[in-house]
Structure 1
Amino acid sequence: MRNIHQIISSALKLAIEQRLIARNPADGCALPKAERKEMQTLPVEQLTSFLREAKDSGVYELYYLDLATGLRRGELLGLKWTDVDLDRGVLKIQRAISRQNGKVVEAPLKTKNAYRTLPLSADAIDVLMQQRRKTGNSEWVFPSPTGGPMSPDSVLHMLHRVLKRAGLPKVRFHDLRHTFATLALQNGVDVKTVSGVLGHFSAGFTLDTYAHVTTSAKREAAKTMGNLLSRAV
């Protein structure tokens, strides 16, 4: 409702600028309160247990790649082998998989920033090479048992099963993306780079989303500068 209101309000604002109407009737509307689900991440000390159990469950490649790239669930499931260049070590994000009217379908990405090309680490390339040998002739990087794209619901069920077997608390699939971003920022990757990798529409949105991480980093920067200057005096 808030998104629809924003679109309508923007259109009416343009109508005012073009002198088509005198006032914006969308102003002053009672809107539902914005609710943001609490972000959770897998701490570094839990990643080993999680990935070990994922390997034992036969889904290591899927979750490793998501933690290595921060892809949205639909983007991860939408990967085709034509999007992967193992020689150059890059991955193109071109589409998403979603469930619409009970069917698993291909869907375009929501914003132009979501269409992006990501570099792959050497370990991620090795993982994808392992996955290539497992998928046979399927065009999908992570195919379903029938050879088509996987259902978004099934990877969530698998995630919860892996977490339970590893003795870890339940998190949402999107929290794997938060884990990637949080670890990247905590380990010195700049916000603009993280924003580009995540496909956010602006670095400001990334800053707002991960303010708790960047605030901590600013404290460390202030502490570091204080130590440097105190030695110089």
Structure 2
Amino acid sequence: MDTTVVGLRPDPVSSYTTSTDVTDGLNRRQAEEAFAKVRSADRPPTADTSSRITVELAGEALKSSLEIRGRRKSHKLTVASDLKNHLAPFFDDRALSEITPDDVERYIRVKSKTLAMKTIRNHVNTLHSIFEIGVRKSWCASNPVKVADRPQIKKSETRIRFLDQPQLDTLIAGTFPDDVFGTIESTLYLTAAMTGLRQGELLGLRWRDVDFTARRVRVVSPYVRGEFDETKSIDSSRSVPMASHVGQALSDLRDRSHYSAPGDLVFCHPETGHPLDRSKLTRRFAKALAANELPKVTFHELRHTFGTRMAAAGVPIRTIQQWMGHADMKTTQIYAHYSPTDNEADTIDAAFS
């Protein structure tokens, strides 16, 4: 018998089916679960929820924040790496609210056994940002990184490593493996040492950025962590004088390269035209040093060769700062000890005579 009351519509809630065979849309149970998730996402975290927010979860919030703020890909990848490989495994499932300054200092002590202090300091900076997110979202009451003792990097301004002129000459004149990469190594190392460009700036250099007429090399779009990025700072976007030796080597490279159009990369893979692999370049550079019995330096320290040679030649520190793209003059001051002096030693001799 039909029990429907004339003039009344069926109750929309009671008319939902609870059958698990429904394939079109959500059944009542699924709809209620979905609605509960939406409601909980909009609520501020309670004391109970906050107690479950770990470094890993707060780190995901930091990554989202960096994405929204349009941070560079290289920075976002660094934060993701710090979180995945170091911070999250170390602090595990501990809630942010449970982590103390002593725990932060313990992290520093443990990691100092295997990592460079500069790397650990970068980790701590990432951890600081994670806790700042936590404080803003009420996941923790304070930021323990602020009061923890942070690692200090002792910089000895007289102990920077670099290749001197005879050592650089030996490297450039050395023999390289008989393969496609070996055809560009000499020019790459020479350009690095005589322009002071960073590795990413060299890998992103295009032929249109090399001005043979004005004898300048322009730094426009470095290749960092798999993408062409903006320069490191405002001062990093610059042009550097191109010595005749470098100009000739680059001209020869362009003549024999299959990729010599204005938009092509100067130091590309000789067979594909694609950017060089940074890790492979680092290994090749280390092998070149070993093959020529030269001191162990990093590829980056070829910049120190440029900086020290320019200072020794009497180039003003401010000019060196501009050429090397340092945002802070303090960074350039490490080369001040290599600048010539005006008869200072003679002055001391005269004073004690």
With normalisation by structure 1, the TM-score equals 0.76
Match of 2:172 among 51, 57, 64: 51
Distance in 1 (alpha carbons) for counterparts of 2:346 and 2:245 = 32
- Which residue identity does 2:153 align to in structure 1? A
Distance in 2 (alpha carbons) for counterparts of 1:93 and 1:189 = 20
Note closer, same or farther for the CA distance 1:72–1:162 as it changes in structure 2 (3 Å cut).
same
Does the 8 Å CA contact 2:317/2:336 hold for their aligned counterparts? no
Note closer, same or farther for the CA distance 1:126–1:161 as it changes in structure 2 (3 Å cut).
same
Pairwise mapping of residues 84-163 of structure 1 onto structure 2 (< 5 A)? 84-99=210-225, 104-137=226-259, 139-144=264-269, 145-163=271-289
Query: Counterpart in 1 of 2:94?
Result: none
Note closer, same or farther for the CA distance 1:54–1:84 as it changes in structure 2 (3 Å cut).
farther
Q: Calculate the aligned-residue CA RMSD, in Å.
A: 3.2
**What are the ranges of 5 or more consecutive residues in structure 1 without an aligned counterpart?**
12-23
Distance in 2 (alpha carbons) for counterparts of 1:163 and 1:27 = 42
Distance in 1 (alpha carbons) for counterparts of 2:246 and 2:162 = 20
- Which residue identity does 1:140 align to in structure 2? L
Equivalent residues, number: 209
Query: Counterpart in 2 of 1:195?
Result: 321
Query: Counterpart in 1 of 2:153?
Result: 34
Note closer, same or farther for the CA distance 1:36–1:146 as it changes in structure 2 (3 Å cut).
farther
Identity of matched residues, %: 28
SS of the equivalent of 1:118 reads: strand
SS of the equivalent of 1:210 reads: helix
Note closer, same or farther for the CA distance 1:116–1:54 as it changes in structure 2 (3 Å cut).
farther
Does the 8 Å CA contact 2:196/2:302 hold for their aligned counterparts? yes
Does the 8 Å CA contact 1:54/1:63 hold for their aligned counterparts? no
**What are the ranges of 5 or more consecutive residues in structure 2 without an aligned counterpart?**
1-119, 133-142
Distance in 2 (alpha carbons) for counterparts of 1:95 and 1:36 = 30
Deviations 1:88-114 (A, max 9, x none): 211110121123xxxx32222221100
- Which residue identity does 2:267 align to in structure 1? F
Name the larger-Rg structure: 2
Query: Counterpart in 2 of 1:181?
Result: 307
- Which residue identity does 2:174 align to in structure 1? E
Shift of 1:125: 1.4
Match of 2:208 among 59, 82, 87: 82
Pairwise mapping of residues 60-79 of structure 1 onto structure 2 (< 5 A)? 60-79=186-205
- Which residue identity does 1:53 align to in structure 2? G
Shift of 1:203: 2.7
Deviations 1:33-82 (A, max 9, x none): 33669631112221221111167743111111111101111111110112
Distance in 2 (alpha carbons) for counterparts of 1:88 and 1:189 = 20
Shift of 1:191: 0.9
Distance in 1 (alpha carbons) for counterparts of 2:175 and 2:209 = 24
Does the 8 Å CA contact 1:98/1:151 hold for their aligned counterparts? no
Note closer, same or farther for the CA distance 1:211–1:193 as it changes in structure 2 (3 Å cut).
closer
Shift of 1:185: 0.9
Distance in 1 (alpha carbons) for counterparts of 2:175 and 2:307 = 21
Query: Counterpart in 2 of 1:17?
Result: none
Does the 8 Å CA contact 1:97/1:152 hold for their aligned counterparts? no
Shift of 1:124: 1.7
Deviations 1:3-50 (A, max 9, x none): 648x97xx9xxxxxxxxxxxx998644322336696311122212211
- Which residue identity does 2:169 align to in structure 1? T
